[in-house]
Structure 1
């Protein structure tokens, strides 16, 4: 298997785009020779990584994070990562601030546009690969969003996730309600669901 030279690896750290390679002077012929030999592998449209960099556990999320740096896992996808639902969504639920462009990616994505003013509330970082990561909402924000968007997501998603969350040791409904104050139209329904379940 052909490998990239030390200079090539230094100028193009993983992952890199086709445009990155072009800007740094790599010819199409060299790029595709590296791909065809297995030295680099495609992880999305025009997106590559060096094969010898080790195992890549989630190329789909890496592609999304490179194409949309503000992308944040939300709703069913994030609830599943937090162990609060058994549902497996047909597409990855990704939030972007309203007004941002939704990029083209290879994997099925359900894009959700959230208000810029509240976009970062409850946002954490999920490590993916080397220095790359993707945003993910914490469990409390996911619960709030499931109630906030129940008209589209269905009421059972939020109710079941809330039941599971309450069974976990150390959960504090007061912290959930504190965060819910940032979403006034949701706070009342969430407070009512807590009163029923507690």
Structure 2
């Protein structure tokens, strides 16, 4: 059966399937760093960050930066303002990608799209995680109720008004229920903080 015969063809095939690939993934497929450098010079591929590549003619998703962040921080989960924006619950356009990682995980190097790391306990990092495909890349994002609870937990980092806006929009758009938000708030230790806002918004219909 015919297979890609040149390194360029192999690289093109891999990047077409995966959307974004690390240099290590390309090397594993038999493509050298020198070939990728030539492809970058010839305008065939784009270097997104150190060791991270994409075809230059790839169609970019609105959430392209999340796909890039997922490749750079494979164990991380998109959280807080970035998760609110993904779920269309805020007008904020975060200049950085908010990523939750474990307490002992290494943060990514400063290169490419700015990433803001927030450290979660293993228990809180493993709850309420959804996986969405963006440009062929699996991206882990906290679900709506978990994101709202986290925004109240980290209100000093992102601002209470952002957390309240997210809560209001989540209920207005019926993307989750007050009960589910209350459950996630309980697990995250912010039930007493969120309760008055939840009661006020549900009382107003």
TM-score (norm 1): 0.82
Which of 86, 103, 110 does residue 108 from structure 2 map onto?
103
Q: Equivalent residue for 2:126?
A: 120
Q: Equivalent residue for 2:14?
A: 13
Partner deviation per Cα, 1:2-56 (whole Å, 9 max, x = no partner): xxx545344772233334445555444433222222333322222223456x423
Give me the whole-angstrom Cα distance separating, in 2, the residues matched to 1:56 and 1:170.
Answer: 26
How many residue pairs end up in the alignment? 191
Partner deviation per Cα, 1:71-111 (whole Å, 9 max, x = no partner): 22111111122222112222111111221111123111111
Give me the whole-angstrom Cα distance separating, in 1, the residues matched to 2:174 and 2:30.
Answer: 55
Please report how far the alpha carbon of residue 66 of structure 1 lies from its aligned counterpart in structure 2 after TM superposition: 1.5
Pair 1:56 & 2:98 matched:
no
Pair 1:137 & 2:142 matched:
yes
Matches within 5 A, 1:68-107: 68-104=73-109, 105-107=111-113
Indicate conservation of the 8 Å contact 2:103/2:121, yes or no: yes
Q: Structure 2 unaligned runs (5+)?
A: none
SS at match of 1:13: helix
Indicate conservation of the 8 Å contact 1:42/1:48, yes or no: yes
Q: Structure 1 unaligned runs (5+)?
A: none
Q: Equivalent residue for 1:146?
A: 151
TM-score (norm 2): 0.80
Indicate conservation of the 8 Å contact 2:133/2:139, yes or no: yes
Q: Equivalent residue for 2:178?
A: 173
| Compared CA separation, residues 51 and 160, structure 1 to 2 (3 A) | closer
SS at match of 2:74: coil
Indicate conservation of the 8 Å contact 1:71/1:134, yes or no: no
| Compared CA separation, residues 6 and 62, structure 1 to 2 (3 A) | farther
| Compared CA separation, residues 106 and 169, structure 1 to 2 (3 A) | closer
